[in-house]
Structure 1
Amino acid sequence: MEIRQFQTFKAVADLNSFTKAAQSLQYSQATITSHIQQLEEEMGVSLFDRLGKTIQLTSAGRELYPYTEELLMAYEKIKYMSSGEQILKGNLRVGASETMMIAHKLGSVQATYKRKYPEVQLSFVDDDCIQLRRRIHSGELDIAIVLEHKVSDPQLVVQAFSEEPLVFIGGPDLLIERIEEADGECMVFSGKNCSLRRYFESYLKKKGIGTANNLEFSSMEAIKQCVMNGLGISLMPRIRVEVLLREEKVKQLYSDEGESFFMHSSSTIETNGCRLLIRSLSNV
């Protein structure tokens, strides 16, 4: 038996998919299938029931899973041993939304981290906040940086580290000055799984602001282009539109509740995952 077979087994079990496990481990799907078949042959049991495109652990697979977790945790600890010193090694997978990628300049963080910890393979994944948390739970990610009001999840360690100001924006020729005057206007929303979208919709509902012919885009750049062209009103992090506001390509709409709204930038990790690497990342 080889350690990579157990790594593959855990990935397939966590992700409930041979295809997703191949993507996560950067193996071919044929390699993933081979690892599982080799493990099943050596153990003399089937580990997965295959029902069309759906798979699930057999009773033997469920029994093996906790032992596999213990084995891989011990393996990671052994890899860190070197001459009595703890050297950071391994893979650290970080998820962040498009906004957080820009707001916190994660490219420069990655460069700094690589200089300090060259043995760590650091990678970034772009996704929305809900999917990032799902990917942490599934084992695809070790840490996620999200933009939300509050993350309440007993299975995650959550640390808020900044407040991100939000602004309502409209086209430069928009006649209204306050968001409360926007009843019946077209709103430009981000994707349904975006926490910013959910906050925007709840605010409009609370204010009794009706909308018409709403638009939806997953790309922040597409939303900005729509607003600049006078196609609707949106709510965005100020950092994404500061230049446009300064150049008067969009205008800010104010609210009776004040000029600014905030959401928190938070980092989340699994309670049992990659603590040593995460602590080091926070010190960069």
Structure 2
Amino acid sequence: MEIRQLQTFKTVADLNSFTKAAQTLQYSQASITSHIQQLEDQIGLPLFDRLGKHIQLTMAGQELYQYVIELLAVYSKIQHISSDNMSMKGEIRIGAAESITVYKLGKVISEYKKNYPDVTFSLMNDDCLPLRERLYSGEIDIAITLEPKVNDQNLITQVWSEEPLVFIGETNHTFSTIEDANGECIIFSPKTCALRQFFEAYLIRNSINTYNHLEFTSMEAIKQCVMSGLGITLIPYLSVEALLREDKMKVIKSSSEHPSFYAQISYHKNKWLSKAHQKFIEMALTDK
């Protein structure tokens, strides 16, 4: 019985899918199936019921899952054993919002890797709600989101920075305020994105029509569409600061609000943080 087989088992159970587990762990689906079959052969019992396209843990699988959580927690601690900060080892699994990754996180990770080269990083980008789900499932250690202040009693959350939001349109737009843009095409991020939810609520609150809209998963695609005159959007200022300086787009003023989000670092309250995790959080929070 190998650690990787147990990691595979937990990931399949958390995601309820062999296919998603393969994508997350970057294994082939055949490898995922092989790991589970090897575990089942060693235990002598099926761990999952295969119900057509759906799977669920058997009684044996549920019992094993509890032991695997404990074992992997201990394994994580063993990986991070070190005599001092200079010999820190292990892995840090981070999930972050796209804007955070592009405009804030790169500098921190680069500096960290220079100081602690034996620590490895895995980094995935996602929206705020999916990132919190990944924290709960144990798929990531730390989530860095850009959204209103998080209030979740199961998470430890620290504010990294306050980030203003701006309404933007093409360079030649003639709107005095965002309210004057009623009927204009609105460019949204996905529905799982906190920015989308905030933007929609703002528009509804100010009686601005949203029937004419586009939706993109990429912040870069949204910016390109705005510059091309396809519509208007709400976006973190840090992600368009350079484009605004270069007059490639233009801010649309708001007559009622000056919204802000917060870059926040979160981890589950029951998550054991190694020295490597603690040092990363410390370095990020001191980099304003």
- TM-score relative to the length of structure 1: 0.90
The 3 A distance-change label for structure 1 pair 80 and 100 is: closer
User: 1:175 is matched by which residue type in structure 2?
Assistant: T
Shift, 1:122, TM fit:
0.4
Do 2:81 and 2:89's aligned partners in 1 also have CA atoms closer than 8 Å? no
1:220 maps to: 219
2:23 maps to: 23
2:91 maps to: 91
Do 2:170 and 2:229's aligned partners in 1 also have CA atoms closer than 8 Å? yes
Q: Secondary structure at the match of 1:278?
A: helix
Superposed counterparts of 1:8-19, under 5 Å: 8-19=8-19
> Structure 2: how far apart are the matches of 1:74 and 1:248?
53
1:107 maps to: 106
The 3 A distance-change label for structure 1 pair 160 and 187 is: same
User: 1:189 is matched by which residue type in structure 2?
Assistant: F
> Structure 2: how far apart are the matches of 1:109 and 1:79?
22
Shift, 1:241, TM fit:
1.7
Shift, 1:85, TM fit:
5.4
The 3 A distance-change label for structure 1 pair 76 and 222 is: closer
Q: Secondary structure at the match of 2:240?
A: helix
Shift, 1:199, TM fit:
0.8
Q: What is the number of equivalent residue pairs in this alignment?
A: 281
Shift, 1:193, TM fit:
1.5
2:263 counterpart (245, 262, 265)? 265
1:131 maps to: 130
State the Cα RMSD in Å.
Answer: 2.1
The 3 A distance-change label for structure 1 pair 189 and 67 is: same
Work out the percentage of aligned pairs sharing the same amino acid. 54
The 3 A distance-change label for structure 1 pair 239 and 58 is: same
2:273 counterpart (247, 268, 275)? 275
> Structure 1: how far apart are the matches of 2:230 and 2:196?
17
> Structure 2: how far apart are the matches of 1:77 and 1:135?
20
> Structure 1: how far apart are the matches of 2:230 and 2:80?
55
> Structure 1: how far apart are the matches of 2:224 and 2:28?
39
Q: Deviations over 1:80-112 (max 9, x none)?
A: 345x658533221111122111231x2232222
The 3 A distance-change label for structure 1 pair 278 and 77 is: closer
User: 2:13 is matched by which residue type in structure 1?
Assistant: A
Do 2:81 and 2:88's aligned partners in 1 also have CA atoms closer than 8 Å? no
* 5+ residue gaps, structure 2: 284-288
- TM-score relative to the length of structure 2: 0.89
> Structure 1: how far apart are the matches of 2:26 and 2:250?
45
Superposed counterparts of 1:1-284, under 5 Å: 1-81=1-81, 88-104=88-104, 106-257=105-256, 260-276=258-274, 277-284=276-283
Q: Secondary structure at the match of 2:151?
A: coil
Shift, 1:212, TM fit:
4.7
> Structure 1: how far apart are the matches of 2:178 and 2:229?
15
* 5+ residue gaps, structure 1: none
> Structure 2: how far apart are the matches of 1:212 and 1:81?
55
